[in-house]
Amino acid sequence: MAVNLHIPAETDIHPVPGIEIGVTEAGVRKANRRDLTVFRLAPGSSVAGVFTQNRFRAAPVQLCERHLQAGQGIRALVINTGNANAGTGEQGLAAAQATCVALARELDVAPEQVLPFSTGVILEQLPVDRITAALPAAIAGLGTGNWFSAAHGIMTTDTLPKVHSVRVRIGGHEITITGISKGAGMIRPNMATMLGFLGTDAGIAQPLLDRLVRELADQSFNRITVDGDTSTNDSFIVIASGQSGLRIDSADDAHYAELRDALAQASRELAQKIVRDAEGATKFITVHVEEAATTDEALQVAYSVAHSPLVKTAFYASDPNLGRILCAIGYAGIDDLDTAKLRLWLDDVLVARDGGRNPDYREEDGQRVMQQPEITVRIALGRGDVSDTVYTCDFSHEYVSINADYRS
Amino acid sequence: MAVNLHIPAETDIHPVPGIEIGVTEAGVRKANRRDLTVFRLAPGSSVAGVFTQNRFRAAPVQLCERHLQAGQGIRALVINTGNANAGTGEQGLAAAQATCVALARELDVAPEQVLPFSTGVILEQLPVDRITAALPAAIAGLGTGNWFSAAHGIMTTDTLPKVHSVRVRIGGHEITITGISKGAGMIRPNMATMLGFLGTDAGIAQPLLDRLVRELADQSFNRITVDGDTSTNDSFIVIASGQSGLRIDSADDAHYAELRDALAQASRELAQKIVRDAEGATKFITVHVEEAATTDEALQVAYSVAHSPLVKTAFYASDPNLGRILCAIGYAGIDDLDTAKLRLWLDDVLVARDGGRNPDYREEDGQRVMQQPEITVRIALGRGDVSDTVYTCDFSHEYVSINADYRS
């Protein structure tokens, strides 16, 4: 039951010159399921990524970081669903390495030029033989037109594929930006319980892309939460193939801001799609905190509201139980918060001020907003001029059903 | 569907000399409901309390702190359900004050000798007239045998009354310890989303009791969580009437440790009863963290596990989905956690070590433990010798139902 999740028509999903994709069935966990995706990147592509901060970072995440640091130029990605290869110790690391070695041999590149990604069940060993056996089929299918198929191929508990594609003119060049993401539960990226792959045929110098990918993540995947559970496998990758002719080497370039904004917009779309398709979600909630003294405290308050099971069940019930929001603001950990200065809105309805209910607030106004599929909670702290935004969803019976049944 | 919540027979609930209780119907929110409880304390009683750290602390909590600081000796408590008098601004404070003034007049004490408590819906003004009108009826019913009735009188979404009572011999005196608690949701005391009242006829000097009450809370109510929502009204009160003849003035007293341990045990019982009756709970979970470097990090890890919706739904499903527990440990915020040193047990079953699954672990052993109504998760961090314990419950469909319907 995704919330306003837009799926573009296949004709609106633009191939990115320099990026080929192949998808096949490896039978990682279940048969008859397209669970293996391979990306082949043109020589000279810049690739950068950000990864989960969970201490149990999965084997493929550890390997991604190593291979990016090796600096030999990334030429391929391999992504499996069904098994996260996390909490698998040395054996798991060896399995991820074996996957890279096998794909490198097939594509005639070095193993350090391959980035591996896994998503699925934690604590079980990766069936590496089944994956390597399926690589030739994935490679045989490589083509630039397979983004939609890849969006399907990386799904786990997702109900819908997540893909976003735009074309923009920058500096006289037509630039394509196309990306996919997956994730529906264990989502509180930091960086991020999910997989996100964003490709462009703009050229971006490696040091600049290394910086940009963090900026993009902080405006998108690092601002969403479903259940507060930061996964072991979160990865967000930006690929700049450079095939368009536009090449940007420095942040001072006249066209950098345009390209950055276009990529940021695409990143936000992909991140929000994860929330729209969150496990059991029936509402898409934007929590916007303003007048904070620092970004940290704005996010502290936003996440406190976005994670409260009581707030989330009230959204599910379309119940303007505003006390629960105030309560979550109150325990967010800002010790010197002056509750008399705080104001709270549901969309455009001012519901609380001066430490209590707004005297002009009418329950039917709150009720009207709560019934919408998309709701903005706006909180003004009266402490400074910093603002930030977090995206989340409600908490439904369906979430419990999905997570009580996931493994069985 | 409470989990192993023991309700003592009425004959096993011992009156505490010096503490009288009356319960009546005030119609605060609903008719035909005993929603008003009054305690009258003998002159010379020592009373101390700890209260919620939520910044939106309710009007009665603010008044409790003021009246305890006034140091005139507390002689009465008044507790209503149906309305939390939180997020109610100056008007709410005036309402709580009016309640104290009215009860003080009836009992011929000073308003500063009355402690008020409220629990229920947030953001609505307290119907103070209905409460003051009902005070005479509560007072007319005052008696020492009404603890069970009071345990009923303070219930909100609780399904069962929570009462604990023991008699112990200390220093040649027979000492009675009897207490009640309430709370089922919005529970992550700090101090605490709940109400707890513990009475004893031991005498305890005020400065000693002030210190002791914090110690007791930190071993009981400050170690439980249902949903991570720290409420606006949490209050835990210890009353020492001194009627038994035993009088303890200092921690050096030969009998202090005995009395402290008996009170601590009673506090833990009352706190655990809240978890046993938590909204929708089907399992009682003990999360024990050992080999931590500090108490803070032990609690960080314990709460990360205890709050994870994915861990809690796995308990609900009796699914030994251990990866979810490792994941929650991994994102608890210990940046230099060495996952290779960590060990994880379900009861006596060692499930993970050396950064992954214990090779000797068999799924059926995990399954056996997960099916029990009471489960201990034991986590050894390999970092030091500090340990701590948090109590929580699973996360069920019923929790969502209760909280999606509560107000309506």
Tens digits of pLDDT across chain A (408 residues): 687 788 889 889 999 999 999 999 999 988 888 999 999 999 999 988 888 777 778 899 999 999 999 999 999 999 999 998 988 888 999 999 999 999 999 999 999 999 999 988 888 899 999 999 999 999 999 999 999 999 999 888 778 888 889 999 998 899 999 888 887 666 554 333 467 788 888 889 899 998 998 888 888 877 777 666 666 677 778 889 889 989 999 999 999 999 999 998 888 888 888 888 877 889 999 999 999 999 999 999 999 999 888 898 889 989 888 888 988 898 888 989 998 899 999 999 999 998 888 999 998 999 999 999 999 999 999 999 999 998 999 988 887 887 776 554
Question: Which residue would you say has higher pLDDT here, A126 or B401?
Answer: A126
Mapped onto helix, strand or coil, the DSSP state of residue B319 is coil
Question: Are A309 and B407 inside 8 Å of each other by CB?
Answer: no
Q: Is A176 annotated as a binding residue?
A: no
Take residue B265 and report the two structure tokens written for it: 């045990």
The rounded distance, in Å, linking the Cα atoms of A199 and A15 is 9
Q: Do B330 and A397 touch (CB under 8 A)?
A: no
- With 60 as the cut, is the pLDDT of residue B191 above it? no
* Separation between Cα atoms, residue A181 and residue A271, nearest integer Å: 7
Residue A194: per-residue pLDDT? 67
- Name the CATH topology of B10-276: L-amino peptidase D-ALA esterase/amidase (3.60.70)
pLDDT at B228: 63
Instruction: Evaluate if residue B24 carries a pLDDT over 90.
Output: yes
Tokens matching residue B81: 């359900």
Which member of B307, B323, B405 has the closest CB to residue A317? Answer: B405
Element (H, E) at A379: strand A374-380
* Local confidence band at B229 (pLDDT 50, 70, 90 cut-offs): low
Contacts for A108 with CB less than 8 Å, ≥ 6 apart: none
Reading the block at residue A364, the tokens are 């039917």
Place of tokens 């229920």: B120
User: What residues of chain B lie within 8 A of the CB of A404, using their CB?
Assistant: 313-314, 316-317, 319
Task: Give the residue from A327, A329, A361, A401 with the most B CB atoms within 10 Å of its CB, the best one to mutate.
Answer: A327
Q: Phi and psi dihedrals of A71, rounded to 5?
A: 70, 25
Nearest CA in chain B to A404: B317
Of the partner residues A227, A229, A397, the one whose CB lies closest to the CB of residue B400: A397
| Annotated binding-site ranges of B for substrate | 156, 182, 193, 279, 403, 408
- What pLDDT does residue B294 have? 95
Which chain B residue is nearest to residue A57, measuring alpha carbons? Answer: B330
What is the chain A residue with the closest CA to B335? A55
pLDDT digits (tens, 9 = 90+) for B86-120: 888 889 999 999 999 999 999 999 999 999 999 88
pLDDT of residue A331: 82
Interface contact flag, A327 B352, Cβ < 8 Å: no
pLDDT band at B49 (very low <50, low <70, confident <90, very high): confident
Residues A401, B405: C-beta atoms closer than 8 Å? no
**pLDDT score for A341:** 93
Per DSSP bridges, beta strands B235-240 and B46-51 are antiparallel
Instruction: Name the band, by pLDDT with cuts 50, 70 and 90, for residue B332.
Output: confident
Burial class (CB in 10 A: 0-12, 13-18, 19+), A106: middle
Helix A256-276 × helix A206-218 angle, to 10°: 40
**Cross-strand bridge partners of residue A357:** A352
Q: Which of B24, B37, B99, B193 is catalytic?
A: B193
Contacts of A54 in chain B (CB under 8 A): 327, 330-331
> Which of A247-251, B4-8, B327-331 tops mean pLDDT?
A247-251
Q: Which residue has the higher pLDDT, B184 or B282?
A: B282
Q: Which residue among B86, B321, B334 places its CB closest to the CB of A323?
A: B86
A339: its two tokens: 């509750």
pLDDT, position B193? 46
Q: Where in chain A is the domain with CATH 3.60.70.12?
A: 10-276
Least confident of A342-356, B135-149, B269-283: B269-283
Question: Annotated binding residue at A181?
Answer: no
Domain with CATH 3.10.20.340 in chain A: 284-405
B274 to chain A nearest CA, in Å?
17
A284-405 belongs to which homologous superfamily?
Answer: ArgJ beta chain, C-terminal domain (3.10.20.340)
DSSP SS3 for A8: coil
Cα→Cα distances A3→A160, A319, B25, Å: 11, 18, 45
Question: Which 3-state string (H, E, C) describes A303-339?
Answer: HHHHHCHHHHHHHHCCCCCHHHHHHHHHCCCCCCCCH
Average pLDDT (B359-364) is 92
* Share above pLDDT 70 across residues of chain B, in percent, rounded to a whole number: 94
Catalytic residues of A: 193
Which of B84, B310, B319 shows the shortest C-beta gap to A185? B310
pLDDT at A58: 87
Mean pLDDT of B220-233: 70
Averaged confidence pLDDT in chain B? 88
Separation between Cα atoms, residue B376 and residue B287, nearest integer Å: 6
Query: B345: distance to nearest CA of chain A, Å?
Result: 14
**Helix, coil or strand: residue B61:** helix
Subunit contact B330:A54, Cβ cutoff 8 A: yes
Give the model's pLDDT for residue A24.
Answer: 97
Contact at CB, A397 and B399, closer than 8 angstroms: no
How far is A304 from A306, CA to CA, in rounded Å?
6
Indicate the burial class of A36 (C-beta count within 10 angstroms; 0-12, 13-18, 19 or more): buried
Cβ A404–B314 below 8 Å, yes or no? Answer: yes
Tokens 């069985």 correspond to what residue?
Answer: A408
pLDDT computed for residue A26 by the predictor? 96
Of A234-243, B102-111, B184-193, B262-271, the least confident: B184-193
Residue whose pair of structure tokens reads 């969150």 in the numeric block: A278
